[in-house]
Structure 1
Amino acid sequence: MTDTPAAPTEQPQLKFSVLNQFVRDMSFENIAARKQQNGEYTPDVQVQVGLDAKKRDADNMYEVATKLNIVSKIKDTDDTIFVLEIDYVGLFRIEGVPNDQLQPFLLIECPRQTFPFLRRIVSDVTRDGGFPPLNLDNIDFLQIFRQEVARRQATAQPNGAQA
């Protein structure tokens, strides 16, 4: 009798491609120009990030939206300088990701792929809007995902009971 090693369990091979990406919705409001604010000031920029993912009708096709709400205010007076809202969507074909890992993959890895393009649009829009280009810092999509999971778990606890 010969010992033959058992065949290793084959993991499905990950197939991941960006099919398309586009701005679904965008709004830029130059409030400083409307109020005729001029002069030197120190801006305070706040960036809120929202993520959304959903399955498309086609097999293995997913849509992942990164939504940014950017508000720049004058640090000393809290007057708003500009507001930029953008909904940026990537369409992805994804195969070989186990179902229990699909949601984290969609909300972490997919936005990482589209973020450099979104960053460029934000930079161009703020520059074209009459301000120095806003170069966004990297966004930690893993941390955003973990915060959302923790928030959902906290709201699922009846009467705010601690686990």
Structure 2
Amino acid sequence: MALAAFPPPVVVYREEQNFDWRVYAFIAVAVGLLWFALFCSYVTGANPGVRDNDASPQLAVGFLVGLVLPVVLIVGLLRMTTEVSPTDLRVWFGWIPTYRRIVPISSIQKIEVVTYRPLADYGGWGIRLGRDGVRVLNARGNLGVRIDLVDGTKLLIGSQLPEDLARALERAMQPGV
């Protein structure tokens, strides 16, 4: 007996972007400071008159946050993948996707390669909503593809290769592709 299987979607474009090294450095410094503060608290007995056993839950929570939070951030958010198939555009964050946006190709009305100012226009990188109502999905740099959807929604997908992404979207939008 044969099992029916759906063929995987054909990907005509794929781009993977990691966030800038400074984001990882910031996380490392913050975790290092947290661990240092916990160590100093443990060694010096920051709570005079409190028995060592009473501080154990606070230390355990601190070390847990110091170990788990960076892993969750790095594995769950700090990577952006963009794929274009003949039927849809997919963007997700994380090696284990925690945020995913799927846009049917049939809902795309207009595509434009743009240069933008991530900090000034949208408050940085990641998953953003601009003052102009544009939903921004970006990991690094200042280049992207602005997409207008038929329902009036506007997206800005950050890309290191915006011309290639725009071409892939335009090809997917052509009938018979």
The TM-score with structure 2 as length reference comes to 0.25
More strand by share: 1
More helix by share: 2
The structure whose RCO (Cα within 8 Å, separation 6+) is larger is 1
The TM-score with structure 1 as length reference comes to 0.27
